[in-house]
Amino acid sequence: MTTKVYGVCPHDCPDACGLITEVDNGRAVNFYADPHHPVTQGWLCAKVRPYLNHVYHPERLQHPLRRVGPKGGGQWERLSWDEAVAEIGDRWRAIIADYGPEAILPYSYSGTLGLVQMGVSSSRFWNRLGASQLERSICGAAAEMAVEATLGKRRSPQYAEVSHSRVVIIWGHNPVSTAPHFMPHLAEARKNGTQLVVIDPRRTRTAKQADWHLMPQPGSDGALALGLAHLIVREGWHDETWLANHTVGWPELRERLLDYPPERVAAITGLPIDAIEQLARLYATHTPSLIKIADGLQRNPNGGQTVRAICTLPAITGQYGRCGGGFMYSTSGYLQWDGTALHKWAKCPPPGRMVNMNRLGAALQGEVTDPPIKSLFVFGANPATSSPNTAAIVAGLKREDLFTVVHELFMTDTAVYADIVLPATSQLEQADLHKAYGTQVLAYNAPAIPPLAECKSNWEVMGLLASEMGFTDPWLHQDVDDVITELLAATAVFTPALEGITLTQLKAAHSIELRHEPDVPFADGRFPTASGKVELFSPALAQMGLDPLPGWTNKQDDGAPPTDNGAQRSADDSLWLITGAAHHFVSSTFAGQPDLLAREGEPFMEIHPADAAARGIATGDWVIVKNGRGACQLKAVVTDGIRPGVVASPKGRWGVIEGGHVNYTTSDALGDMAGQSTYHSNRVWIQKRSEQ
């Protein structure tokens, strides 16, 4: 007897697809898209289609392991869950006695986006323990802060609304790989004449489809946006009435725009003046025109102000609230879980100090003191592959006095350095609730199969750790469905779209498309900022000591050049490495799966013919990519699909113990807002491997 179980894709992707698993005798035998899910529409991306290979991968961790031998030595012995949890408890009690609970740092992020297995599991137990708080700034923190400062909340049109757009600008974003279910809606619109512009230094899969692809210098987009605004005002294409009614700070911004004449913007962005003029005309005179971004665009030292600058364009042209116009970024602000129910702060000690996740290596090596970090608990994250400045992280993980526990499905680059490894369930083996960040669908993930061997879910582990630490609070020991029921009820009180929606209903319907008012974001002309208007000038940012107006500054990677034979390399030889999403992986997830690795091909780096010629590099050559932080080896692809002076290599490859991957070179400097990561501001020096 085969049964069908409905689930949700848990990976870091705005689409949050609906899944169906067919189960026979406790084993998943078939896996495919839910044909009735409003976003998924019956198809899954290349990454998740072969999911059963992921779930039944022969290298799945199945039992708790204890390190024997040196850290990173790869020698393990099995132990029982009881022994593992007791050992963690003993080590933690000793650490707490000597240093206090803040010496323990939980590190989790995007392995799953589920409410219970990530949100609640990253919060309640750790708050109760009084552990350090993780500043969750690796992905889109600056954009989130910028959007909230400008518009009040993250609200975004439905994908289907693009059918009303005459022009779409996809700006520093690659939805063919990273938000694939937007693409059919765009394709449909284009049949009716919608024009597509892509702004990206790399000719991505998305850029290949564009009517027009502009390749600016990385980190220059804020200047480009303000330059477009300058031209729109110069030509009188702006909407004075809308600006007067719906914004604060227009006179101040208007003055700021004088700093961004096309000549200066051309020099900063490396784009021709006539291209900037043509783009301003296209955007402002072919309305409704939609700007769509994600988070890659803002992973540089100007990221927050860049997003602020881009957010001004729909305001200047009066397009917020217009169907087919406006700004498509994230729908996360529509449904925000009740914080009191989620975090249980009232029942916990005061929050521990914050540790910025982008500074993990530095934090482990002494940047964080009083108390120092003595224990790290990693789950749903793989910092030794995905977090910046890997060499510093690995040096920290090797500390003999650091007690590291990693809860994982696979022996990742991070798990290799653990003292204790705990086996984790996959999405097919656990229950959860998922809201999407690109759409408005809410869906329940029912467990399809029993946990493999001794695998346990994050929330189960939190319960075990709570018992070990003597915490009997019932909210640490609820089952998943009870947590969901509690959060749905608490959140419905202030979220009209959730009224009357129960877990029973979600289980029966599998997914529910929530209806938020107004249907087109901001169509009621109300913005949930302090002023109720679009804050072009932001008093909130001013109060934080930040520039209250969008601007561009010439900030870039200040990392040291490498030294060769004792001599430091000249800054003139450097190239700018950008490391966006791989088509076949989600961050480092799936990069251990042979079928997807084969499809992605060898670890490659795209380089412009002029830069390749200057270094004697041809397609197929192995090159060493390095800077003062570290190095990795990649295979060159010589192509004019990358801007001169820039090289590109996708993120996510595993290094397998210091073999190197791109994050050995990336910077752990923080961006202009919210402690943002700055991966794409990365100066590297490149040479052919044979020259070594």
Residue ranges in contact with ligand MGD by CB under 6 A? 12-13, 47, 109-112, 117, 138-139, 171-174, 177-178, 199-202, 204, 216, 218-219, 221, 294-297, 299-300, 379-383, 385-386, 407-410, 412, 424, 458, 578-583, 585-589, 648, 651-652, 662-663, 666, 679-680
Q: What is the sign of the dihedral through the CA atoms of 142, 146, 152 and 155?
A: negative
Task: Report the partner that residue 386 touches, choosing among ligand MGD, ligand SF4, Mo ion, none (CB closer than 5 to 8 A by kind).
Answer: ligand MGD
Residues of 143-167 as b/e, b for ≥16 C-beta within 10 angstroms?
bbbbbbbbbbbbbbbbbebbbbbbb
Q: Least separation, in Å, of the C-beta of 500 and ligand MGD?
A: 30
CB under 5 to 8 A by kind: which of Mo ion, ligand MGD, ligand SF4, none does 48 bind?
Answer: ligand SF4
Taking CB within 5 to 8 Å according to partner kind, which of ligand MGD, Mo ion, ligand SF4, none is near residue 17? ligand SF4
Residue 294: CB minimum distance to Mo ion, A: 8
How far is residue 133 from each of residues 338, 351, 367, 503, measured CA to CA in Å? 19, 7, 15, 30
**Least distance from C-beta 496 to ligand MGD, angstroms?**
29
Q: Which of Mo ion, ligand SF4, ligand MGD, none interacts with 583 (beta carbon under 5 to 8 A by kind)?
A: ligand MGD
Let me know the angle formed at the C-alpha of 204 by 53 and 177, rounded to the nearest 5 degrees.
30
Q: Is 23 helix (H, G, I), strand (E, B) or coil?
A: strand
Contact set for Mo ion, span 33-92 (CB under 5 A): none
* Residue 140 or 451 having the CB closest to Mo ion: 140
| Binding partner at 9 among ligand SF4, Mo ion, ligand MGD, none, C-beta below 5 to 8 Å by kind | ligand SF4
Q: How far is the CB of 361 from ligand MGD (least distance, A)?
A: 14
As measured in angstroms, the least distance from the Cβ of 39 to ligand SF4 is 8
Longest distance between any two alpha carbons in the chain, whole Å: 72
Q: Give the C-alpha separation, 356 to 438, whole Å.
A: 26
123 binds, among ligand MGD, Mo ion, ligand SF4, none (CB under 5 to 8 A by kind): none
Q: How far is the CB of 179 from ligand SF4 (least distance, A)?
A: 8
Comparing CB distances to ligand SF4, the nearer of 42 and 450 is 42
Nearer to Mo ion, 171 or 527 (CB): 171
When CB distances are held under 5 to 8 angstroms depending on the partner's kind, the choice from Mo ion, ligand MGD, ligand SF4, none that residue 111 binds is ligand MGD
CB 426 → ligand MGD: shortest distance, Å? 7
The DSSP result for 518-533, as a single string, is: SSSTTTTS---SSSSS
Q: Which does 156 bind (CB under 5 to 8 A by kind): ligand SF4, ligand MGD, Mo ion, none?
A: none
User: Smaller CB distance to ligand MGD: residue 378 or 624?
Assistant: 378
Beta strands in 206-362 (DSSP E): 212-214, 247-248, 289-292, 326-328, 354-356
- Could you tell which of ligand MGD, ligand SF4, Mo ion, none binds residue 364, using a CB distance below 5 to 8 A set by kind? none
Q: Name the burial class of residue 74, with classes exposed (0-12), middle (13-18) and buried (19+) by CB atoms within 10 angstroms of its CB.
A: exposed
Which of the listed partners (ligand MGD, Mo ion, ligand SF4, none) does 44 bind, with a CB threshold of 5 to 8 Å by partner kind? ligand SF4
Q: Which of Mo ion, ligand SF4, ligand MGD, none interacts with 153 (beta carbon under 5 to 8 A by kind)? A: none
Q: Which stretch binds Mo ion (CB under 5 A): 88-96, 123-131, 139-147, 262-270?
A: 139-147
Q: Considering CB distances under 5 to 8 angstroms, the limit depending on partner class, which of ligand SF4, ligand MGD, Mo ion, none binds residue 407?
A: ligand MGD
Which residues lie below 8 Å from residue 688, measured CB to CB, with a gap of 6+?
Answer: 615, 616, 617, 621, 622, 623, 624
Extended beta strands in 531-596, E state: 534-535, 563-564, 567-568, 575-578
Q: Which does 624 bind (CB under 5 to 8 A by kind): ligand MGD, ligand SF4, Mo ion, none?
A: none
* Residue number closest to Mo ion, CB atom: 139
Q: Which does 219 bind (CB under 5 to 8 A by kind): ligand SF4, ligand MGD, Mo ion, none?
A: ligand MGD
**Which is closer to ligand SF4, CB of 181 or CB of 203?**
181
Instruction: Identify which range of 135-143, 190-198, 496-504, 659-667 contacts Mo ion by CB under 5 A.
Output: 135-143
Rounded CA gap, 229 and 239, in Å? 12
Q: Are 50 and 33 in contact (CB under 8 A)?
A: no
**Residue 201 binding target from ligand SF4, Mo ion, ligand MGD, none, CB below 5 to 8 Å by type:** ligand MGD
For 654, the enclosing helix (H) or strand (E) is: none
Where does this chain touch Mo ion (CB under 5 A) — which range of 138-146, 325-333, 453-461, 618-626?
A: 138-146
Give the DSSP letter string of 283-298. HHHS-SEEEE--SGGG
Residue 333, contacted partner among Mo ion, ligand SF4, ligand MGD, none, CB below 5-8 A by kind: none
Q: Please state, in angstroms and as integers, the Cα–Cα distance from residue 465 to each residue in 106, 469, 675, following that order.
A: 13, 6, 30
Q: Which helix (H) or strand (E) holds 35?
A: none
469 contributes a contact to Mo ion by CB under 5 A:
no
3-state secondary structure of 216: coil
Whether the CB-CB separation of 441 and 511 falls below 8 Å is answered with: yes
- Cα(536)–Cα(238) distance, rounded to whole angstroms? 14
Nearer to ligand SF4, 297 or 436 (CB): 436
Segment near Mo ion (CB under 5 A); pick from 40-48, 136-144, 258-266, 391-399: 136-144
**Residue tagged 């520039």 (tokens):** 547
Q: How far apart are CA 223 and CA 551, in angstroms?
A: 7
Choice between 271 and 381, CB closer to ligand SF4: 381
Q: Which residues bind ligand SF4 (CB under 6 A)?
A: 9, 11, 13, 15-17, 44-45, 47-48, 180-181, 586
109 or 417: whose CB is closer to ligand MGD?
A: 109
The region of 134-142, 312-320, 609-617, 667-675 touching Mo ion under the rule CB under 5 A is 134-142
Task: Supply the minimum distance, in Å, between the C-beta of residue 531 and ligand MGD.
Answer: 30
What is the rounded distance in angstroms from the CA atom of residue 162 to the CA atom of residue 182? 9
What letter would DSSP give residue 202? B
Q: Is 139 an interacting residue with respect to Mo ion (CB under 5 A)?
A: yes
Q: How far apart are CA 495 and CA 382, in angstroms?
A: 34
CB atoms within 10 A of CB 141: 25
Nearest to 533 by CA among 329, 324, 335, 312: 312
The one-letter code for the residue type at 204 is T
Residues forming a β-bridge with 513: 441
Count other Cβ atoms within 10 Å, centred on residue 29: 12
| Least separation in angstroms between CB 351 and ligand SF4 | 32
Cβ 241 to ligand MGD shortest distance, Å? 31
Nearest-approach distance from CB 284 to Mo ion, in angstroms: 31
C-alpha angle with apex 171: 166 to 172, nearest 5 degrees?
155
- Which single residue brings its beta carbon nearest to ligand MGD? 296
Distance CA 265, CA 269 (A): 6
Nearer to ligand MGD, 250 or 379 (CB): 379
Q: Which residue, 296 or 321, is less far from ligand MGD as judged by CB?
A: 296
Chain length of the chain: 692
Tokens for 521, please give them.
Answer: 């974001």
In angstroms, what is the minimal distance from the CB of 413 to ligand SF4?
21
Task: List residues near Mo ion by CB under 5 A.
Answer: 139
